[in-house]
Amino acid sequence: MKIPGWDKLDDEQKALVRWQYRLCGDFETALWKAITLADEANLKLLSSGFPVEVSAYRKYRERPGYWGASVRLAGGDVEAGY
């Protein structure tokens, strides 16, 4: 999948786009599954090894509009679902 604004995204936004658009391999897919199911104590542990992904997930979960802004920056359309 070609993402027009890929170069405009930071590492956290790139991680989210790969996760949300199912562009991850098996390991990264399993990692995102673990991140989304983890409680705060386990998120803290996961952040030791995967700080970018956990920080991205926290922003995705806690900052209203963060995902939409990331999609628009990448050249997508939130309302259209891409």
CB atoms within 10 A of CB 35: 22
pTM for the full predicted model? 0.86
In total, how many domains does the chain have? 1
3 pLDDT band, cuts 50/70/90, is: confident
**Domain-embedded: residue 37:** yes
End-to-end CA distance of the chain: 11
Q: Using an 8 Å Cβ cutoff, are 56 and 63 in contact?
A: no
The residue range of the domain holding 41 is 6-73
**Domain-embedded: residue 82:** no
Helix (H, G, I), strand (E, B) or coil at 1: coil
Q: Is 47 exposed, middle or buried (0-12, 13-18, 19+ CB in 10 A)?
A: middle
The gap from C-alpha 59 to its chain's centroid, in whole angstroms, comes to 9
58 pLDDT band, cuts 50/70/90, is: very high
